[in-house]
Amino acid sequence: MKFNPRLPKTCLHEDCQPFRQCLTRRYEMTYTVKQYGWIRDLPDHRDHLYAAPTTALAALPHMVDLRPHCPPVYDQGQLGSCTANGIAGAIQFDRMKQKLTPAFEPSRLFIYYNERVIEHTVDSDSGAMIRHGIKSVAEQGDCPEKEWPYEIEKFAVKPPAACYKDARKYKAVSYQKVAQNLNQMKGCLAAGYPFVIGFSVYESFESKKVAQTGHAPMPGPHEKMLGGHCVLAVGYNDAHQHFILRNSWGTGWGMEGYFTLPYSYLLDENLSTDFWTIRVVAA
């Protein structure tokens, strides 16, 4: 299949980094790869670290799969809002787990706008740090998507005051950073909670094979890095030595919107980092 790259759309902010590139590529007459937008967190000693209970670590199951408990897969479209999509998925998962009413899909555009307020990049489709997305939903909450719909042409428009007022009722109350340690990562999932991750995307991730099978490999030595992406880790499998992750490219990609990455991918800080779990959301 012929592979036609488009020109990369790059943020012009003065401190723009490679992770701010929002690169789009297209397979002719098949599938359009979406935008990226994950920017690595800056170190912060104030982060609260998740610690899996010792008893749980001593009896980790060989496989965990939270997909049956996840909300429908989102589609971020041609917007670099992957961090907002990942965080919204974690929030909606928790609301379902806590059996909270009303049931709703969190506004991804609300999160994307407010994390960029923190980064002073609201006028650019610049992507964002996961930490800033977590901070925004902890301090301001998030309104339902029906109040501030995912209309990507409005990504730089400030949501109405009514959205901010309603969002205060739906804050992330408890959240922690997950250490880049296999047992801690598995312990989080075994406890029944997903975690948001950021990872570097290489050319093979955009291959037809990955789009069809959902199984992404380790990058080859000569592959180019295309950008940074944020997704939600929802399971693992010891037999296959991989994590199961929820993408935000719709159900027509991968395994109905999900894919796998090798353990070694998420354990390499040069390839992946910034793991966050949201444990409790306000009613």
Q: What is the pTM of this model?
A: 0.89
Query: Cα dist. 182→186, 230, 271 in Å?
Result: 6, 19, 15
Q: Looking at the predicted structure, is the pLDDT value of residue 272 above 50?
A: yes
Residues 6+ apart with CB under 8 A from 73: 246, 247, 248, 250, 251, 256, 257, 258
Q: Looking at the predicted structure, is the pLDDT value of residue 126 above 80?
A: yes
Q: What is the pLDDT of residue 119?
A: 98
Q: Angle at which helices 130-139 and 82-97 pack, to 10 degrees?
A: 50
Q: What percentage of the chain has pLDDT greater than the value 70?
A: 88
Residues 6+ apart with CB under 8 A from 151: 109
What are the boundaries of each domain within the chain? 31-40+48-281
pLDDT in tens, 38-50: 999 998 999 999 9
Provide the mean pLDDT of the chain.
91
pLDDT in tens, 58-82: 999 999 999 999 999 999 999 999 9
Q: Looking at the predicted structure, is the pLDDT value of residue 30 above 70?
A: no
Mean pLDDT of the region 104-133: 98
- Identify the band that residue 33 occupies on the pLDDT scale cut at 50, 70 and 90: low
Furthest CA-CA distance within the chain: 52
pLDDT in tens, 5-15: 333 333 333 34
Q: Looking at the predicted structure, is the pLDDT value of residue 257 above 50?
A: yes
Q: What is the pLDDT of residue 77?
A: 96
DSSP run (H or E) holding 133: helix 130-139
Distance CA 60, CA 50 (A): 16
Q: Are 180 and 266 in contact (CB under 8 A)?
A: yes
Mean pLDDT of the region 185-203: 98
Could you please state the CATH topology (level 3) that the domain comprising 31-40+48-281 is classified under.
Cathepsin B; Chain A (3.90.70)
Q: What is the pLDDT of residue 35?
A: 80
Q: What is the pLDDT of residue 17?
A: 43
Q: Angle at which helices 130-139 and 108-119 pack, to 10 degrees?
A: 110
Enter the tokens of residue 198: 């950021």
Closest Cα to residue 175, out of 130, 110, 112, 227? 130
Q: Are 104 and 144 in contact (CB under 8 A)?
A: yes
Mean pLDDT of the region 138-157: 98
